[in-house]
Every structure is written in C-alpha cells, then in structure tokens.
Amino acid sequence: MPSQNVIECCQALIEKKLTICFVESASAGKLSYEFSTVINSGRILIGGLVCYHESMKEDLLLIPKGTIKQFTAESAVVTKLLAQNFHRFVTSDICVALTGLTTPGGSESAAKPVGTIFLHFIFPHKEIARRYEFKGTPEEIVRQAIDTAALVIYSEIKD
C-alpha cells in the first residue's frame, strides 16, 4: 500500500495533468511500483526503468565509460546523467532518478555511508539534485527515499 505522501503526490499530479517517469537503481523498481498502486495512476505514470548494474547504466542509458569508475554508481553525477539520459527517451513532464546505498558492499565510505541516497528530479522548467542519508534496514531506506521523492515532487507542483 502506498504511503500518504505518495498518494497525495499522485493526486496532485493527476489534478495538474502532469506525467512522470522513473529511472531507478537502489530502489529496483519500488518507486514506480508505489506510484502505480494509487487510484488513477494510469493518468500520470508513464513508466520506469531499473538499471541496477553498471552495464545497464552504460549500455542502455549511455553513461560515458569511465564516469562510474570516477564518481561511483551511487553519486550525484551518475544520478543526474541517468535522469537526463532517460528523459531524452521518455516523454513525460517529470523524470526522477534514484541511486544509492541500501546495503554494504557498494561504494560506501565514511563520507558516503550505507543509507546515502541520491535523487535527481527533472521538472518542466528546472532540475533539482538532492543527497540524503537515511537509517534503517534496506527496506526502510528505500521507503524513506520514496516518501522523500514524493514530498519533493509535491512541493514543486502544489502551487
């Protein structure tokens, strides 16, 4: 069941007749799924892509070779490129990219611990890049990231 934040965000998107798409790594499709479970989501949700492995990011979403090695797959730079490159292929008003660390074994460090999530939003007239640090289990980290994404979208479109 979607959170209240996701429901309110979807209702606002429906009211404003805005469409949305997602390109996801750490959330592995859960962001798209949560938005799809809201009544009338077919009016707003164009779709999404899960690009968990580096090869998907480079081969399908054209992240330049060497970029992931230089910045890591879980970085603001890669998240921005995912959003921009996916949005070129998908016609939607809003595009959201999500990467991050929900479990150990990635690029975590003292400066970028497990729980770090990067979000990049493309709106019709602006882009927003955000970095968050959430605590909890992998499921809790993903849930917090989804709720936060919904809040950012809602705050940008509500007026």
Where do we find the tokens 């603001």? 76
| Distance in angstroms (rounded) separating the CA atoms of residues 120 and 26 | 13
Whole-angstrom distance, CA of residue 123 vs CA of residue 74: 22
Residue 159 has pLDDT above 80, yes or no: no
Superfamily of domain 4-157 in CATH is CinA-like (3.90.950.20)
Q: Give domain limits for the chain.
A: 4-157
Question: Residue 151 pLDDT more than 90?
Answer: yes
124 within 8 A of 51, measured Cβ to Cβ: no
Nearest to 152 by CA among 116, 144, 75: 144
- pLDDT > 80? residue 69: yes
Regarding pTM above 0.85, the answer is: yes
- pLDDT of 130 over the 80 cut: yes
What average pLDDT score do residues 115-141 get? 97
Count the Cβ atoms, other than its own, within 10 Å of residue 123.
Answer: 16
